[in-house]
Chain A
């Protein structure tokens, strides 16, 4: 016997009852289809809503917060910045190029629907083992899709992260963050005020693509192999989006719109019900007026199609001619598809509306349901939560610390470990990805995000924006609370390292099936961690997105709280770069290491029994460290600042050396376990360099905030040398007959080589030519002298090298 319709649409029997209660009758088939998409997890947040209410959202300068298409924060001068993270995980797993491309398209529409011009994209990508053919296919497709769409619409991709972790093998994550800039007076809301106003569809015709994307793809776990889901993936057209951006922004600038919402998940149904619900109005939809790509579409297909590059505008009748004029110039189709009403209902009519927006004689009302019942009054669940029987947790801050990491640290060669780490897929150069992204279109990119936070200048002001996105999946796997809190701390720290003051936090919560108590517990813990960290650091959560059901037959993904932070630089010319600058500058470690190697890159590389302990996060220490770095940057004391995170202190130092193309001679106090000090990923630490004269002032700022400062040594030479001294250094081990190096000593060239080759090698691409150091991010670019070329120089005169054909420069591997 066939399943009843509501179950085939993904609604439970209980949800059908809840719909009946709201309507006071049985829904018809079209109404049921509309409820099925609106009450999907993706649109309704029915499992996560009670948790999300606990997040801190207020803050000075926040002019639009959660519930809006994107968070908006004021930055002075009448300007504001809009930003948001969103997931496109399931579509990307089915069809990686289009899934990722439409993910970019969707988040860009969220930004410009607020009246902001999109100025930057960042991506948070997570995959399984890079050695697997399937992973390589997904990586190529997703990176191609992000680039293909962003490059074409002309929004620079200025940062992000690419992480491999076995838990993502069957369920990759594609989170995309977009940032926009607007004049505050142009702030626009997704609302449908004013009965009598017109509901106007801008952009592409409606087709059968993306039918039920929200309910089919985003709100259920994957089976083994499911090509039947491919039609649920939308197809993107960045050219159409580019025209839609220009037309929408011009409409807003001219004051022609009362409201604007993008059409994403659940298509027209979502746009009309949410805009009406926000305004307390209704909308009557003239089904026949909706332009279609395919003949013979059923009413429910038209109402829930997720065809891309469409917007719903609310327009006063007298301004329609102006709207048409602008859209025609940009080649954007315009269709009046309905009217705002005062009855609070979403009404769908076949057969036509009259001039006043009433059904013409003979027309049929196909659906009439309260807008509220589809949107803000959708069903909400209090899901059952159950911690797993076995779990690892960080010790409480301040708890006695005694470390036994049980890793093979005795007898290790720390230099070999460091080369292994910087040459690992998760820590090596991202150039293989970032060279496929246009990072400089827009002519505002100051830092392209290859090394740290991406930075844009704001034309016409002295200001700049620093943007970063981070997740700490390795730790989240063990402890979702700590993973989320660490992600906030690290992302904020990355922004603070540039000297920028964080404005707010956006997030994307990627978790498993919320109907499973353990998975829901993970989500609840992560939201608690997110909230605690944001409160401690004084950061408002301005928006975000939830992606659940991230499971495959291979299992559930690591709980992944992707965090995005945008910060404001008052004077972009005074930004602090991450790399070593001048020989003789002093290298300092701010903050101190705590034990705990679980979830670290080192533990992954060592491959032996992972110890039980995670590094603890003391949010008060984190706040003090970030406050110190901002104060020092404001005072002009910092020559460079680099966050200590993946791979620990040694990797942070190696990156400073690789990017600066200069070494350092350092001494590190090690306690019992050199691995903890060198490669542990305990948070709340930063490597900074200062000119010798600035040491005293910096130490005074640090002392006032109770932040420990350790003078490690100075910049210079072409090797990174770290002598280990103290109780954990080689001496004691040598006495026991162990053979162990008492120093880490690597040439910068060998580190760079390992770092450059890591990702292409992991992905099996032996044709990639890495950009020479100092050419990725143009920080210290000066005009360099070159030979005066001979006129008419012929073939062979160029010193050129072609990626894919030329020799790879740089030293051979294995050098020490």
Chain B
């Protein structure tokens, strides 16, 4: 089962994500932004960082890169895509996920440990998460306030596309509507979240909850959800 991790110029969580994907049992390979070849990846992860420096707007330039055309085709073929932090911003800018990620309500960069309630465990991204737990992992971003107009937000909620919510005493670090930390697209094959599961993939780092999400992806990829 191969997981491809996109490397944009300015990605800075690519190495961490490759490492964590390997811990989850995947064969993980980097995918350079200038290539349209996904190297046979069943799952593509867009990692955190500041793709293309985040000039203009977070994720705004990355969506035009050659690799993003390949990612679109991958989704159309039924492949799985996960965007983490800046990767979520890129997917939202590219229209692969609904909504926008605005500046944090505090108007500051926020690095905090948060807890996530998992809204659904019947998805390719959460199937390995046991019931009844909150997932602990860090956020680190300046623009993570999830926003969607009211009517669209209601539809998103009604269709079960909200996958993760900030919960527990740590609360909502960025002012996201409905405490939304991560969502899926309508097909259930594209997911984006602001917190960093790859930084919570080993007990020595304070939590290995993030590994549950990566294991879910590996199981799903192996089960042939991908094209």
Which A positions have Cβ atoms within 8 angstroms of B? Answer: 147-148, 151-154, 237-240, 242-243, 329-331, 434-446, 457, 459, 572-573, 767-769, 771-772, 775-779, 781, 783-789, 791-795, 797-806, 809
Contacts and interface: CB of A to CB of B under 8 A. Distances in A.
A792 B162 contact: yes
B188 interface: no
Nearest to B177: A795
Contacts of B104: 803
Interface stretch (B37-45, B65-73, B89-97, B201-209): B201-209
A239 B12 CA distance: 10
Given A436-B109, A785-B134, 19 more contacts: A154-B12, A434-B111, A437-B109, A443-B205, A459-B19, A767-B106, A771-B170, A779-B206, A781-B113, A786-B115, A792-B119, A792-B160, A793-B165, A794-B157, A794-B178, A797-B165, A797-B178, A802-B171, A804-B107
B171 A801 contact: yes
Contact of B171 (A151, A438, A806): A806
Contact of A438 (B19, B109, B166): B109
Interface in B129-146: 131-136, 138, 140, 142
B174 interface: yes
Interface in B91-131: 104-113, 115, 117-120, 131
B140 A789 contact: no
A786 B175 CA distance: 21
Nearest to B52: A239
Contacts of B174: 802
Contacts of B119: 789, 791-793
B52 A801 contact: no
B196 interface: yes
Given A147-B109, A437-B111, A786 B167 contact: yes
- Of the candidates B111, B198, B204, the one having the most CB atoms from chain A within 10 angstroms of its own CB is B111
Nearest to A767: B106
**From DSSP, what is the main secondary structure of chain A's interface residues?**
loop
Contact of B169 (A438, A789, A809): A809
Nearest to A459: B19
Interface of B: 9-10, 12-13, 15-16, 19-20, 32, 48-50, 52-55, 104-113, 115, 117-120, 131-136, 138, 140, 142, 157-158, 160, 162, 165-179, 196, 198-199, 201-202, 204-207, 209
A783 B48 CA distance: 24
A778 B167 contact: no
Given A771-B112, A798-B165, A441 B9 contact: no
B204 A239 contact: no
A778 B175 CA distance: 23
A777 to B, nearest CB: 8
Contacts of A243: 9-10
A25 B111 CA distance: 58
A797 B178 CA distance: 8
Nearest to A781: B206
Contacts of B176: 800
B109 A331 contact: no
Nearest to A779: B206
A778 B105 contact: no
Contacts of A788: 131-132
Given A153-B12, A788-B132, A798 B172 contact: yes
Contacts of A799: 167-169, 171, 179
25 contacts: A152-B54, A154-B12, A239-B52, A239-B53, A243-B9, A331-B9, A435-B112, A441-B12, A441-B140, A443-B199, A445-B199, A445-B205, A446-B204, A446-B205, A775-B170, A778-B113, A783-B207, A784-B115, A784-B134, A792-B119, A798-B166, A798-B178, A800-B171, A802-B106, A805-B175
B149 to A, nearest CB: 14
B172 to A, nearest CB: 3
**Considering residues A152, A238, A438, which has the most beta carbons from chain B within 10 angstroms of its beta carbon?**
A438
Nearest to B180: A798
B206 to A, nearest CB: 2
A778 B205 contact: yes
